Amino acid sequence: MPEGDTIHRAAATLDRAMGGNVVTAFETVFPLLARVDDQTPIAGRTIERVRAAGKNLLFDFSGDLHLRTHMRMNGSWHIYRPGEPWQKRRSDMRIVIATADYVAVAFNVPVAELLDDRALARHDDLRKIGPDLLSDDFDETEAKRRIRARHADEHIANVLLNQRVVAGIGNEYKSEVLFVSRVSPFRRVADVTEAELDLILKNARTLMRMNVGPDSGGSRRTVRSLDKKQLLYVYGRGGDACMTCGTPIEYRKQGDDARGTYWCPKCQE
């Protein structure tokens, strides 16, 4: 599943290219979306904004209509100039939104729905999303409350992945943030101090913001280094030496979903 920074970066790119422009064509393989388009055509509407909400990507159209998509594991949005060859197969296409200058294509996106204002406001997945770490108005107090509430006996790494607790962290950031914060991923939430929790959230926002924006580059980076090969501290580096102490990085599957966790057993005792 894409990390929150990927969704925010995609939304920002799409918004810069297409926000404020009129839809010239709409195409989809989803029958429910096609039915709505037949009844109330999307072509002719203005794309008022493209935005991220946690790991959801939203197109806000004029005339009380919103497209919500969720990438899950394999979905992605691409943007092309009209007539430019696509980088994926036509059979992977799920949605096409065109303006005079750009064509946005959703490939292998498994979740997509068109909602009016009322349905969007009442949408269960969106309404229950935790505070978004990449939002300008991130509510740290509410994030800490949700982390503490009903999760005292859970491992902190698993709780950080719960999008209804705090939105945006995926598997890579989970391992990286806890390493930088020097907190074991297997520490119970009840045993994480307030100072440590403050540091975890601060580091999560800092590391994720490093990878959002047009100048962030194509590869996710958490290591502040001029060495282009040193991108991540622990994620994907099982058995390699810790950059801080030299201890071999360890790897273990964790949680009900058996998500892979990387950590330094010395730095994160």
Residue 268 inside a domain? The answer is no
Measure the CA–CA gap between 18 and 7, rounded to whole angstroms: 16
Residue 156 inside a domain? The answer is yes
Is pTM, for the whole model, over 0.75?
A: no
**What is the Cα 179 distance to its own chain's centre?**
20
Residues 6+ apart with CB under 8 A from 182: 267, 268
Would residue 202 show up in a list of annotated catalytic residues for this protein? no
Would residue 3 show up in a list of annotated catalytic residues for this protein? yes
Q: What percent of the chain has pLDDT above 90?
A: 72
| 241 shares a domain with 144 | yes
Q: What pLDDT, in 10s, does the model give residues 237-247?
A: 999 999 999 99
Split into its structural domains, the chain has a count of 2
What's the mean pLDDT in 200-225? 79
| 117 shares a domain with 172 | no
Cβ burial of 214 (10 Å; 0-12, 13-18, 19+) is exposed
Question: Is the pLDDT score of 222 beyond 90?
Answer: no
- pLDDT bin (cut points 50, 70, 90) of residue 215 is low
What's the mean pLDDT in 102-111? 96
pLDDT of residue 218: 59
| 171 shares a domain with 117 | no
Lowest-pLDDT range, 33-37, 76-80, 144-148, 167-171?
167-171
Q: Which of 45, 51, 55, 68 is catalytic?
A: 55
Mean residue pLDDT across the chain: 91
Would residue 113 show up in a list of annotated catalytic residues for this protein? no
pLDDT greater at residue 72 or residue 39: 39
Lowest-pLDDT range, 2-11, 152-161, 221-230?
221-230
Measure the CA–CA gap between 220 and 172, rounded to whole angstroms: 9
| 117 shares a domain with 50 | yes
Measure the CA–CA gap between 145 and 167, rounded to whole angstroms: 14
Strand partners, 98: 25, 103
Cβ burial of 12 (10 Å; 0-12, 13-18, 19+) is middle
43: which 2 tokens? 């072509």
Would residue 205 show up in a list of annotated catalytic residues for this protein? no
Residue 60 inside a domain? The answer is yes
Amino acid at 239: G
Q: Which of 3, 144, 174, 220 is catalytic?
A: 3
Q: What pLDDT, in 10s, does the model give residues 125-139?
A: 788 889 989 888 899
- The single residue listed with the structure tokens 């036509």 is 90
Any idea what the CATH number is for the domain that residue 77 is in?
Answer: 3.20.190.10
pLDDT of residue 91: 97
Instruction: Report the residue count for the chain.
Output: 269
- Maximum average pLDDT range among 85-89, 117-121, 168-172: 85-89
| 147 shares a domain with 123 | no
Residue 8 inside a domain? The answer is yes
Lowest-pLDDT range, 30-39, 96-105, 166-175, 183-192?
166-175
Q: Which domain holds residue 87?
A: 4-127
- pLDDT bin (cut points 50, 70, 90) of residue 216 is low
Lowest-pLDDT range, 18-22, 77-81, 129-133, 172-176?
129-133
pLDDT of residue 227: 64
Any idea what the CATH number is for the domain that residue 235 is in?
Answer: 1.10.8.50
Torsion, Cα of 249, 250, 255, 256 (10° steps): 120
Residue 57 inside a domain? The answer is yes
157: which 2 tokens? 């790494």
